[in-house]
Structure 1
Amino acid sequence: MTDTQDLHKAFWDRLDSLNAGMLGLSDDRRFIPMSHYTDRDAGKLWFITAKETDLARSLAGSERDAMHIVCDSGEGLFARIEGRLSLVDDPAKLDELWNAVASSWFEDGRHDSDIQLLRFNIATAETWITGGSVAFLYQIAKSKATGDKPDLGEHVTLNF
């Protein structure tokens, strides 16, 4: 799998299968677990948070460099995703993203006044795309039997 288009597709397919990662501003040491919602056609991730979180307050009036880190050996994706994070007021997008998980965090549901939508415009993603946990075990066993280094997949930086 070396074609850039195939790597982009594998990245999005695996990212769609994950439901969370660690999100933070690039110049901050504090990263927090956040559920992401993918928008592959636009090259964006979306997040639903509360207006009073440190992250949302840090974005007030500005777009900032941010990172979203995802790791899942079962899905075979490890990635450091970099881009720009901003506050967005888009009721239609919020309606599109709203789900049972998001509703668990807001007392007044979809119309809670504390809801804040975040848009993450992806610039690059340094990715390790592997065959997943079963393929990893196979490659390790094969390397022990043959003495060859295990083939653990593709390591590439994708541009968006």
Structure 2
Amino acid sequence: MTELKQEFWTRIKDARAGMLGIKGQGRLVAMSPQIDDRLPGDIWFITAKGTDLARGVEAGAQAAQLVIADEGAGLYADIDGSLAMSHDPKVLEEVWNFAADAWFENGKDDPDVRLLRFTPGSAEISVTSTSGVKFLYEITKATLTGAEPDVGAQGAVVF
């Protein structure tokens, strides 16, 4: 499953959105995952002061869930981990983007900006072909030869 874990880290860089929530709150919200290559192993999110996620981790790290279903990245994952507030300005600088800029009047210096760090613990992951042509080829080949199509991989991963 080491290959699947590596494939996860490669593909999540292309994932545009996921659903993130604190366990026990019963609600996941759409968030845009960000990766800082200098700090492998964590997934970063930018949110605002006063959101359920920001309030939920004010007192410390909480058990959390991240769900990714991104056809473009060919990544589908249900990830359990922990969510915590971060005050690292270097990470904020690295993960800041034009989309985040649109939400905050004073950009990354806005006093309402909150940086969240999600640290994966375990996950069920599926990776699929990101090419419709390759998928069609594999299905056609399998139909003609009776072989199983190579359309990706799935499995449980511990980070």
TM-score bracket, normalised by the shorter chain, equals 0.7 to 0.9
What letter corresponds to residue 131 of structure 1 in structure 2?
S
What letter corresponds to residue 65 of structure 1 in structure 2?
A
CA pair 75-99 structure 1, distance change in 2 beyond 3 A: closer
Q: Which residue of 1 aligns with 2:66?
A: 68
Relative to the length of structure 1, the TM-score reads: 0.86
What letter corresponds to residue 9 of structure 1 in structure 2?
Q
Q: CA deviation at 1:133?
A: 4.2
Q: Which residue of 2 aligns with 1:141?
A: 140
Q: Which residue of 1 aligns with 2:124?
A: 126
Separation in structure 2 between the aligned mates of residue 13 and residue 42 of structure 1, nearest angstrom: 11
Q: CA deviation at 1:93?
A: 1.7
| Aligned pairs, number | 157
Q: Flag as ranges the 4+ runs of structure 1 deviating above 6 A.
A: none
What letter corresponds to residue 66 of structure 1 in structure 2?
A
Q: Unaligned 5+ residue runs, structure 2?
A: none
Counterpart pick for 2:26 among 25, 29, 38: 29
Contact 1:73/1:133 (8 A) holds in 2:
no
**Percent of aligned positions with the same letter in both sequences?**
43
Relative to the length of structure 2, the TM-score reads: 0.87
Separation in structure 1 between the aligned mates of residue 40 and residue 144 of structure 2, nearest angstrom: 45
Q: CA deviation at 1:148?
A: 5.4
Q: Residue 117 of structure 1: SS of its match in structure 2?
A: strand
Q: Unaligned 5+ residue runs, structure 1?
A: none
What letter corresponds to residue 24 of structure 1 in structure 2?
G
What letter corresponds to residue 12 of structure 1 in structure 2?
W
